[in-house]
Amino acid sequence: MEELVHDDKFVMPASAWQVVEGVFKGDNGEWICGFSKGGSCSAYVAELRGVFEGLKLARLVVTVKWSFT
């Protein structure tokens, strides 16, 4: 089974700057939408931010998909 959500994290070792990114893909691997967030926080908070942003985007995609069907 192909993953539907792919997320990456970027951490600058000498600072607390974190970036989280994610992409939602369709059944055929086509890009549907994505997100990118950056800020100063710990690695733990960056992981949680990636999960939170992914869930928010998933809810939006499902809502939009249902409203057009």
Residue 69 lies in a domain: no
Higher pLDDT, 21 or 65: 21
Higher pLDDT, 66 or 22: 22
pTM of the entire predicted model: 0.60
Residue 47 lies in a domain: yes
> Please, are residues 49 and 37 in contact by the beta-carbon 8 Å criterion?
yes
Residue 37 lies in a domain: yes
Query: Can you give the residue range of the structural domain that contains 49?
Result: 5-64
Residue 24 lies in a domain: yes
How many distinct structural domains can be found in the chain? 1
Q: What is the pLDDT of residue 62?
A: 73
Tens digit of each residue's pLDDT (9 = 90 or more) over 1-59: 344 455 555 555 556 777 788 888 777 888 888 888 888 888 788 888 888 888 888 88
Residue 27 lies in a domain: yes
Q: What residues contact residue 18 under an 8 Å CB cut-off, 6+ apart?
A: 9, 10, 11, 38, 39, 40, 41, 42, 43, 45, 46, 49
